[in-house]
Amino acid sequence: VEKYLPDGTDVWGNWLEPNHIQSAKKFPSLKFHNRVNASELPEIYRNSIATVLLAKKDYAENHFITPRLTESIFYGTVPFFISEFGDDTIRKFAGAYADFLKVDSKQEVRKKADVLRKDIELRKSIILHLRDSMKFTDVKFFISSIEEVLL
């Protein structure tokens, strides 16, 4: 968390729940908010330029990308991949934008978020590219693949 999130970053989730209550004390420069319902996600993402795809160490080592990737691109927020996912995994999802979307520090997150804040066309291009690269997760893709095999 401290490696990737710049001071003042808004953070939603279970960070304020009893098993994580120390988070707010451990990271006082971050703005923690309670977990939200799915109905609240659109507004949060709509008001965000980018999000960092934080993951537990074993998730990253096993190339498991959390649902935040799908959520962020669905709602039009650019996702930054932490470097721990590894270049191959990041390139698989981000393609030509892998170098830009890979981050290794909160300074890099801040710098790249500032670029996105000023360049709406870049944000749009990244989101459209990611949506296209994520087609394999769509149930229609799965059904079409099954049909191709069966027919």
How many other C-beta atoms lie within 10 A of the C-beta of residue 143? Answer: 10
pLDDT score for 146: 82
User: Which of 5-14, 113-122, 140-149 is predicted with the least confidence, judged by mean pLDDT?
Assistant: 140-149
pLDDT in tens, 74-90: 999 999 999 999 999 99
Q: Please report, in angstroms and rounded to a whole number, the separation of the first and last CA atoms in the chain.
A: 49
Strands (E), 6-71: 10-12, 31-33, 50-53
Tokens 């830009």 locate to 100
Structure tokens at 123: 């944000």
CA-based nearest residue to 6, from 95, 113, 115, 121: 113
Structure tokens at 73: 């691109």
pTM: 0.87
CB 60 within 8 A of CB 86: yes
Tokens of 30: 């971050």
* pLDDT per position as a tens digit, 40-49: 999 999 999 9
Confidence band, pLDDT 50/70/90 cuts, at residue 140: confident
Mean pLDDT confidence for 30-34: 92
Euclidean distance between CA atoms 95 and 102, whole angstroms: 11
Q: What is residue 64's three-state secondary structure?
A: coil
